A and B are shown apart, each in its own frame.
Chain A
Amino acid sequence: MSDAVDVHELRTWLEDGYASSVRTAYLILGNRPDAEDAVQESFLRAWKFRDSLATGSSFKPWLYRVVVNTCNSKLRKEIPHRNRRRPDDDLDDVAMIDDPIGRVTLSHDVISALKDLPTHLRVVVVLRYYVDLSEHDIAIVIGRQPGTVKSRLNEARRRLAEHPALQSEAPRPITVRKESKS
Chain B
Amino acid sequence: MTTFDEEMMRRALQEAADDFVISDGALERILDEARDTASRDDGPRIRAFIQRNGRGRSSILAAAACVVLLAVALPLFNSEGPAKSTSALDFGAAKHVSVQGGAATPDAPAGFTDVQGTGFETGATTSGNSLTLTNASAKLSVTTGVDVAGQSSLRVEEVGTIHLTVGGKRFQSTLSKLTDFATTDGGFVASTQSHMGTKATHSYSTGSIILQVPEHNFTMLVDQVRHAGVATSVQTSATDVTGQYVDLQARITASEVSRSQYLKIMTRTNSIGGILAVQDQLNSIQSQIEQMQAQLNLLNTETTYATLTVAVSETGHQTTTPVAKRTGVDKAWHDSLHGFAAGVEWLIRIAGPLLFALLLIGVLLFLGRWTWRATERRRGGIS
Q: Are A69 and B15 in contact (CB under 8 A)?
A: no
Closest to B21 in A: A32
Interface members, chain B 1-49 (any A CB < 8 Å): 1-4, 6, 8-20, 22-23, 26-27, 29-31, 33-35, 37-39, 41, 45, 48
B-side interface residues, number (CB < 8 Å)? 44
Interface members, chain A 35-76 (any B CB < 8 Å): 35-36, 40, 42-49, 51-54, 57, 61-62, 65-66, 69-70, 72-73
Q: Are B4 and A157 in contact (CB under 8 A)?
A: yes
| B264 lies within 8 A of chain A by Cβ | no
| B147 lies within 8 A of chain A by Cβ | no
| B382 lies within 8 A of chain A by Cβ | yes
Chain B nearest CB, measured from A90 CB (Å): 11
Contacts A11-B27, A46-B380, A49-B379 given; indicate if A107 touches B22 (C-beta within 8 A). no
Q: What are 28 sample pairs from A and B whose C-beta atoms fall under 8 A apart?
A: A3-B35, A3-B39, A10-B30, A24-B17, A26-B20, A27-B16, A40-B26, A40-B29, A45-B380, A49-B379, A49-B381, A52-B383, A69-B376, A69-B377, A69-B380, A70-B380, A72-B377, A94-B15, A103-B15, A107-B12, A109-B12, A110-B13, A114-B13, A125-B13, A126-B13, A141-B382, A158-B4, A169-B1
Contacts A7-B31, A52-B379, A111-B12 given; indicate if A27 touches B37 (C-beta within 8 A). no
CA distance A140 to B379 in the complex (A): 15
Q: Are A97 and B376 in contact (CB under 8 A)?
A: no
Closest to B9 in A: A129
Contact partners of A73 in chain B: CB under 8 A:
377
Closest to A158 in B: B4
Partner of B380, one of A57, A66, A157: A66
Most B-side CB within 10 Å, residue of A44, A158, A168, A169: A44
Q: Are A23 and B20 in contact (CB under 8 A)?
A: yes
CA distance A65 to B16 in the complex (A): 22
CA distance A49 to B23 in the complex (A): 26
CA distance A26 to B1 in the complex (A): 25
Contacts A22-B26, A26-B17 given; indicate if A110 touches B12 (C-beta within 8 A). yes
Contact partners of B373 in chain A: CB under 8 A:
143
* Interface majority SS (helix, strand, loop, mixed), chain A: helix
Contacts A70-B380, A107-B12, A130-B17 given; indicate if A18 touches B27 (C-beta within 8 A). yes
Chain B nearest CB, measured from A33 CB (Å): 10
Contact partners of A109 in chain B: CB under 8 A:
12
Q: Are B382 and A62 in contact (CB under 8 A)?
A: yes
Partner of B37, one of A14, A24, A44: A44
Q: Are A36 and B9 in contact (CB under 8 A)?
A: no
Q: Are B37 and A57 in contact (CB under 8 A)?
A: no
| A133 lies within 8 A of chain B by Cβ | no
Q: Are A94 and B19 in contact (CB under 8 A)?
A: yes
CA distance A36 to B383 in the complex (A): 25
Q: Are B30 and A43 in contact (CB under 8 A)?
A: yes
Partner of A14, one of B8, B14, B15, B31: B31
Chain A nearest CB, measured from B292 CB (Å): 67
| B170 lies within 8 A of chain A by Cβ | no
Closest to A109 in B: B12
Chain A nearest CB, measured from B187 CB (Å): 78
Q: Are B38 and A7 in contact (CB under 8 A)?
A: yes
Question: Contacts A6-B38, A130-B14 given; 19 further ones with Cβ under 8 A?
Answer: A18-B30, A27-B13, A27-B16, A40-B26, A40-B30, A45-B379, A49-B381, A52-B379, A52-B382, A53-B382, A66-B381, A91-B16, A110-B16, A130-B13, A132-B10, A140-B382, A143-B382, A160-B4, A161-B4
In the A-B complex, list the 6 residue pairs whose CB atoms are closest, starting with the nearest: A110-B12, A52-B381, A23-B17, A66-B380, A130-B13, A157-B4
Using a CB–CB distance below 8 Å, which chain A residues touch chain B? Answer: 3, 6-7, 10-11, 14-15, 18-19, 22-24, 26-27, 32, 35-36, 40, 42-49, 51-54, 57, 61-62, 65-66, 69-70, 72-73, 91, 94, 97, 103-104, 106-107, 109-111, 114, 125-126, 129-130, 132, 140-141, 143, 157-158, 160-161, 166-169
| B127 lies within 8 A of chain A by Cβ | no
Partner of B12, one of A14, A62, A106: A106
Q: Are A110 and B380 in contact (CB under 8 A)?
A: no
Q: Are A10 and B380 in contact (CB under 8 A)?
A: no
Q: Are A47 and B34 in contact (CB under 8 A)?
A: yes
CA distance A16 to B84 in the complex (A): 73
CA distance A18 to B24 in the complex (A): 12
CA distance A164 to B357 in the complex (A): 51
Partner of B16, one of A72, A111, A132, A160: A111
Closest to B36 in A: A44
Contacts A40-B30, A54-B53, A161-B1 given; indicate if A94 touches B382 (C-beta within 8 A). no
Q: Are A32 and B20 in contact (CB under 8 A)?
A: yes
CA distance A54 to B30 in the complex (A): 24
Most A-side CB within 10 Å, residue of B6, B26, B52: B26
Closest to B38 in A: A3
Closest to A110 in B: B12
Interface members, chain B 49-90 (any A CB < 8 Å): 52-53
Contact partners of B3 in chain A: CB under 8 A:
161
Interface members, chain B 192-241 (any A CB < 8 Å): none
Chain A nearest CB, measured from B373 CB (Å): 8
